[in-house]
Amino acid sequence: AASDVYKRQIAVGWPAAVSKNGWGALRRLIDPVDRRELLQTLFGAWRARDDRVCQLELRVRRADGSSGWLQVRALAVEHRVGSWRLAGIFSDISDHKALEAHFAERLEVSAALLASQTELAHAAQSARDEAETNVRLRGSFLANMSHELRTPMHGLIGMAAVSYTHLTLPTKRIV
């Protein structure tokens, strides 16, 4: 079982020294800011004799120089009466973090598309409302203009009809 763990560490790019020397070799691979947070959290738990599991995600540098992520779950345990040690598990979560970053990016793209679609829907609704207003105004204008033109035209036609009845026959032939 120990050789399987060793092979897994080699497979993900952790130097063999991490397996053999544990924390001493591993701590040099952890990002300095994250290392400070890890030490403060773990030693704070150790000093308080807190039996809760501390969980942190740390940026690390692999043996090949690439970066990765470790998840640390550790707690302070009583080794002997009055003697406490830290026990924990370090798990490589680099693939998980890569997926997390990918999904966060996809989520941002989706949110941008949704915002764009919402803007387009508002613009389409606004254009539709404006078109409906224009149709109503056009109808109102034509109705008013029709009334304004018909009223005088009816008067002219009526006057022409009355005048036509009073014309003499030779004048009617001309008209």
Question: What is the overall mean pLDDT for the chain?
Answer: 78
Furthest-apart CA pair in the chain: how many Å? 141
Phi and psi torsions of 37, nearest 5°: -65, -40
Question: Average pLDDT, stretch 1-5?
Answer: 43
pLDDT of residue 175: 57
Q: Is the pLDDT of residue 52 over 80?
A: no
Confidence category of residue 16, pLDDT binned at 50, 70, 90: low
pLDDT of residue 133: 94
Task: Give tens-digit pLDDT for 89-148.
Answer: 878 898 999 999 999 999 999 999 999 999 999 999 999 999 999 999 999 988 888 878
pLDDT of residue 102: 93
**Burial grade of 38 (CB within 10 A; 0-12, 13-18, 19 or more):** buried
pLDDT of residue 171: 66
